Structure 1
Amino acid sequence: MSTEQDQTGPDLAQMRQSYERAGLTETDLEPDWPAQFRRWMQDAVRGGLREPNAMVVATASADGTVSSRSVLAKGYDARGVVFYTNYESAKSRDLAVNPSVSATFPWYELQRQIHVRGRAERVDASETEAYWAQRPRGSQIGAWASPQSRPLTDRAALDALQLQVEARFGAADDEQAPAVPVPPFWGGWRIVPTLVEFWQGRRGRMHDRLVFVRDAGSDVLDPAAWTVQRLAP
């Protein structure tokens, strides 16, 4: 196979942007990572970013095979960042045997990223139920219908599964039907951080990287356990 550049396609080597929107200094930071996260999330929402709560979550299986995918963050506080999924999905199977996890919020339009690294733990049932009650009915039906990450013969097989669930609970668009319960195989994961990095692009790739780092073995809720470091770009 030729290794020569395919001249019919885009030249990736020539693709570049100069990051000049802003800088990030230690004095810019809020006193803790949740407050800084909140401020940047507010900036992302005000900036009109599409799905600013979308993050790329990376997990690893027991044999070290790494997988990543985009999911939606649905909560955060000093305990960590929360997302919801099928507990039988590929990512949940990974987390069950290897709870190490990372997530990146890629806010390219703002020339910013947030990286969260730590260990995953399941959220409690009451927290899952509170979020489930806010979900659109169609999404609730979908959670019951989809054997997430499992092979399907075709799209018709998935549609048939949805029809089976709707026969049980009522149609996805039937707002008068009884409430759909939380599936026993569905719930939340919390990324309990050991590190939260705030990345701001700068000119010449001399980016600002300020990181809140938690002392090994310390309580995530202990403010004294966190220190701020600057990393080279």
Structure 2
Amino acid sequence: MSHDELTSGDFTEAEHPVELFDSWLKDAQASEINDPNAVALATVDADGMPNVRMVLLKGFDTNGFVFYTNCESRKGQELLGQKKAAMCFHWKSLRRQVRIRGPIEVVTDAEADEYFASRPRGSRIGAWASKQSRPLEGRFALEKSVAEYTARYAIGDIPRPPYWSGFRIRPVSIEFWHDRKFRLHDRIEFARETPEGGWTKTRMYP
């Protein structure tokens, strides 16, 4: 099957972007070798300088797209400071891309606690041990910190650090892109004025 044939009628006829995203993510889960939920997250610092890095999408629904991080990290501080962000998924094997833009909100403590508890024990230790985005004098210092927290939480539950939580992008724009021959790609944008509003769908020039 050619990549042009991968474009289904649902792509151009879909009326709700979250349902279309769900379909595309499932396709990616069947085709991508590593981390089909990996996404480039773009933020802006207090001086207006952009930053971008890869994170993992951990949940989504009609309310938005959720990921987790250390809130004291660079991205955490930029998210809390500017309260807006953008995402870009690119699934190379499918020749598809999804771009998402919107304001952000911090998830509830209950949501953060539930996800943190689902993480492997080593990852929960790492959340305590790593002073994310801050200078590290050497690998040994990190390993020492991991050992200290491993000993501290050797038995029983590992609580969620107070500085570790999740963010939800509440999209006002979701654009779907599919590669076509001669760079005559398919682009559909769903947009709305507020995260509570209804969606308007527009086909875009490639």
TM over 0.5: yes
| CA distance in 2: counterparts of 1:178 and 1:32, whole angstroms | 44
**Does the alignment pair 1:188 with 2:166?**
yes
RMSD: 1.7
**Alignment partners' CA distance in 1, 2:163 and 2:56:** 18
Are the counterparts in 2 of residues 23 and 201 from structure 1 also a CA contact under 8 Å?
no
Measured in 2, the distance between the counterparts of 1:29 and 1:154 equals 54
Over 3 Å counting, the alpha-carbon distance change for 1:151 and 1:110 in structure 2 is same
Q: CA deviation at 1:81?
A: 0.4
- 2:63 maps to 1:85: no
CA distance in 2, matches of 1:70, 1:89: 14
Asked whether the 8 Å contact 1:105–1:115 carries over to 2, the reply is yes
Give me the whole-angstrom Cα distance separating, in 1, the residues matched to 2:45 and 2:32: 36
The superposition leaves residues 187-206 of structure 1 with CA deviations (integer Å, 9 ceiling, x where unpaired) of 00001101011110011111
In structure 1, the partner of 2:101 is 117
Q: Which runs of 5+ in 2 are unaligned?
A: none
Matched with 1:231 is: 204
User: Secondary structure at 2:182's aligned position in 1?
Assistant: helix
Deviation at 1:53, TM superposition (A): 0.4
Give the TM-score normalised by the residue count of structure 1.
0.83
Q: In the TM superposition, what is the alpha-carbon distance from 1:27 to its structure 2 partner? A: 6.4
Corresponding residue number in structure 1 for 2:147: 163
Offset, 1:31? 2.5
Tell me if structure 2 keeps the 8 A contact 1:22–1:201: no
Query: Which letter maps to 2:58?
Result: K
SS in 2 for 1:159: helix
Per-residue deviation at 1:207?
Answer: 0.7
Q: TM-score, normalised by structure 2?
A: 0.94
- Deviations 1:203-223, CA, capped at 9 Å, x for gaps: 111111101101x2x3x354x
Task: Indicate the percent of aligned positions where both proteins have the same amino acid.
Answer: 41
> Which 4+ residue blocks in structure 1 deviate beyond 6 angstroms?
none
Q: 2:57 aligns with which of 49, 65, 73?
A: 73
Once residues 13 and 64 of structure 2 are traced to their aligned partners in structure 1, the CA distance between those partners, rounded to angstroms, is 18
Of 185, 197, 200, which aligns to 2:175?
A: 197
Deviation for aligned residue 1:111: 0.2
Matches within 5 A, 1:1-233: 20-23=4-7, 28-170=12-154, 177-214=155-192, 216=193, 218=194, 220-222=195-197, 225-233=198-206
Partner SS, residue 113 of structure 1: strand
1:153-197 Cα distance to aligned partner (Å, 9 max, x none):
111111111111112111xxxxxx301001000000001101011
